[in-house]
Structure 1
Amino acid sequence: MEILVLSDSHGRVDHMVRAVEQFHPRQVLHLGDCVRDAQALERQFPQLPVTMVPGNCDWGQTGEPERLLEIEGVRILMMHGHTRHVKSSPMAAVYAAREYGADVLLFGHTHVPLVDYDGTLWVMNPGAAGDYTRPTCGLLTIRKGAVICSVQNISLGR
Structure 2
Amino acid sequence: MKIVVLSDTHLPKRKKGLPARLLDELMDVDLIIHAGDWQTIDVYHELRRNGRVEGVYGNVDDEEIIRLLPLKKIVEAGGFRFGIIHGHGKGKTTERRAIAAFKGENVDCIIFGHSHIPVMRYEGDLLIFNPGSPTDKRRQKFFSFGVISLSDKITAEHIYF
Q: Gaps spanning 5+ residues in structure 1: where?
A: none
Residue 37 of structure 2 is aligned to residue 33 of structure 1: yes
Q: In the TM superposition, what whole-angstrom CA distance separates every residue of 1:72-119 from its partner, at most 9, and x where no partner exists?
A: 110100111114766x24223213334111100000000000000133
1:74 corresponding residue in structure 2:
80
Residue 133 of structure 2 is aligned to residue 125 of structure 1: no
Q: Secondary structure at the match of 1:150?
A: strand
Q: Gaps spanning 5+ residues in structure 2: where?
A: none
CA–CA distance in structure 2, aligned partners of residues 135 and 89 of structure 1: 19
Sequence identity percentage: 26
Amino acid at match of 2:46: A
Amino acid at match of 1:143: S
Q: How big is the alpha-carbon RMSD for the aligned residues of Structure 1 and Structure 2?
A: 2.1
Residue 6 of structure 2 is aligned to residue 6 of structure 1: yes
Q: In the TM superposition, what whole-angstrom CA distance separates every residue of 1:16-47 from its partner, at most 9, and x where no partner exists?
A: x53131363211111111152122222x43xx
- 1:2 deviation in Å? 1.1
Segments ≥4 residues shifted beyond 6 Å: none
1:134 corresponding residue in structure 2:
142
Residue 123 of structure 2 is aligned to residue 149 of structure 1: no
2:23 corresponding residue in structure 1:
20
Amino acid at match of 2:80: V
CA gap 1:128/1:25 in 2 versus in 1, 3 angstroms: same
CA–CA distance in structure 2, aligned partners of residues 68 and 94 of structure 1: 13
Amino acid at match of 2:74: L
TM-score (norm 1): 0.82
Amino acid at match of 1:14: L
Amino acid at match of 2:71: P
Give the number of equivalent residue pairs.
Answer: 148
CA gap 1:78/1:89 in 2 versus in 1, 3 angstroms: closer
